[in-house]
Amino acid sequence: MASVTFEKAQRWYPGADEPAVPGIDLEIKDGEFMVLVGPSGCGKSTTLRMLAGLEEVNDGRIYIGDREVTNVPPKDRDIAMVFQNYALYPHMTVEENMAFSLKMAKVPVAERKERVAKAAEILGLTEFLERKPKALSGGQRQRVAMGRAIVRAPQVFCMDEPLSNLDAKMRVQTRTDIARLQQDLGVTTVYVTHDQVEAMTMGDRVAVMKLGVLQQVDTPLKLYDKPANLFVAGFIGSPQMNLMEGTAVDGDVKIGSYTVPVDPAAERKMSGLVTVGVRPENWRIVTAEEGGLPVKVTVVEELGADSFVYGTCDVEGTPANVIVRVAGRQHPQKGETLHVTTDPQNVHVFDTESGERLSD
C-alpha cells in the first residue's frame, strides 16, 4: 500500500493552446478512496492516466509512496487499471482473464490458481470461472475486470469510469460492491467519474475539477454543506442547488422585492452583486401573507418518500426553475402557486464575479 502525491503535474497536449491539466497538486493518503469528479473535459481522466503512466507528464512530479514515478514505464509502477469498457479477452475464460497478468509475470501455476480463487470468492465469481465474457452480464464482467486488478495485489487501483456502461440498478449495486471491496482490501484507490452521486456515495474524499484545476478537495458532506465556490455549489447535489442573483443592501440580499435571510457571518463580507444558494430541501412553504418567494408549479417528480417540485418565479434574479423538496404525499399540484422561504443558516452566499464563497 502507498500514498499518491501529485506535485504541480502538468499535461499539455501537442498543438493545444492551453494545458489539459495546468499543474495539479494533490495528496492521496495510504489506503484512501479518492474520487476525481467533474464535467466532461475537466481533466480528471488525464490526471488518472498521468498517474498510470499512460499520459506524459510535461512538468511537475508524481510519487507513489516515496518513489518518484513521473518517468517510470506503466508496467513498473505497481498499479492496476480498471477501464470503462472492461477490456477482457473474449477467447479466454474468466479464470484465464483474471490470471493473465500473473502468467505474464511468470508467477507459478499453483500460486496463480490460489490468488484467482481467492479473488473470485471475494467477488462472488467462483461459479463463473469457466465461462467466457460473452456469457456474463455487464456487472459480472466488471467484477472480472476488478478481479484481474485484485490478483496483482498492486499498491494503487486506478479506475476510469468503470460503471458508466451499466444500467441504473446494476450501477448502484456495483458501486456498493466496489466501495466495500476497497475498504476490505485497504488499497489506495483513485476513481474517476462524471457522476457526482457516485462520487458522493463512494469517496472518502472527493476532488472536484474544472478545466484541469482543482476547485475543492474535501469529504462528501463538507462539499455538500460548504461548497468553496459557485461551480462546486452548482455541481454537487442532485437536484442541484437553487442559485439566485441579488444585491447586497444593508446586510440583506434583495432579489427583486424578496429579501433573503442571510447568516450574520456573511453580512460583513457582502457588497454589490452576490449570488445566494438554497438546497431544495431547505425551502419552507409559507402562506402568501407571510411573504416568501412565489413559485408557480410546472412539474412534480413523485419519488415516493418525497417529491421534487419544479416551478417558475417571475422575480428578477431567480433561475429558470426553482426546485423545492416536499413530503411525498402532500405535494402541490401543477399550476398552483406556492410561497417559499428559508432560514439564514441554510443560505449559501457567493461573490457573483469571483464565484468565491462568502458564508462561513
Which CATH number fits the domain that encloses residue 331? 2.40.50.140
200 and 85, same structural domain? yes
pLDDT at 142: 86
Among residues 25, 23, 24, 26, the alpha carbon closest in space to that of 34 is found at 26
Q: Any idea how long the chain is? A: 360
With respect to residue 92, please indicate whether it lies within any of the assigned structural domains.
Answer: yes
CA–CA distance, 4 with 68 (Å, rounded to integer): 10
β-pairing verdict for 188-193 and 33-37: parallel
Q: Are residues 263 and 194 in the same domain?
A: no
Residues 337 and 217 in one domain: no
255 and 210 in a single domain? The answer is no
Position 68 scores a pLDDT of 95
166 and 258 together in one domain: no
pLDDT for the residue 263: 79
Last residue of a domain, one of 165, 195, 230: 230
Least Cα distance to 200 among 183, 216, 224 occurs for 224
Q: Smallest Cα–Cα separation from 32: which of 224, 215, 205, 209?
A: 205
Residues of the chain with pLDDT under 70: 1
Q: Tens of pLDDT along 10-29?
A: 999 999 999 999 999 999 99
- Ramachandran quadrant class, 230 (left: phi over 0; alpha: psi -120 to 50; beta: rest): alpha
* Phi/psi at 216 (5° precision): -165, 140
Return d(Cα 76, Cα 235) in angstroms, integer: 36
Q: Grid coordinates in use for 43? A: 481533466
pLDDT of residue 172: 87
Whether 260 and 324 share a structural domain? yes
Number of domains the chain contains? 2
Q: Is residue 14 part of a domain?
A: yes
Residues 185 and 297 in one domain: no
Please report which helix (H) or strand (E) contains residue 280, including its range.
Answer: none
End-to-end CA distance of the chain: 37
Q: Which residue has the cell 462520487?
A: 199
Instruction: Name the pTM for this structure.
Output: 0.90
pLDDT the model gives residue 328: 78
On whether residue 358 sits in a domain, the answer given is no
Backbone phi, psi, residue 255, to 5°: -115, 100
Q: Are residues 250 and 336 in the same domain?
A: yes
Residues near 211 by beta carbon (within 8 Å), at least 6 away in sequence = 41, 42, 43
pLDDT of residue 272: 80
Contact 260, 252 (CB under 8 A): yes
**246 and 221 within one domain:** no
182 & 323 share domain: no
Q: Has residue 359 been placed in a domain?
A: no
- Residue 267 and residue 206 share a domain: no
Of 182, 208, 230, at which residue does a domain stop?
230
Q: Could you list the residue range(s) of the whole structural domain that residue 313 is in?
A: 239-351
Same domain, 112 and 81: yes
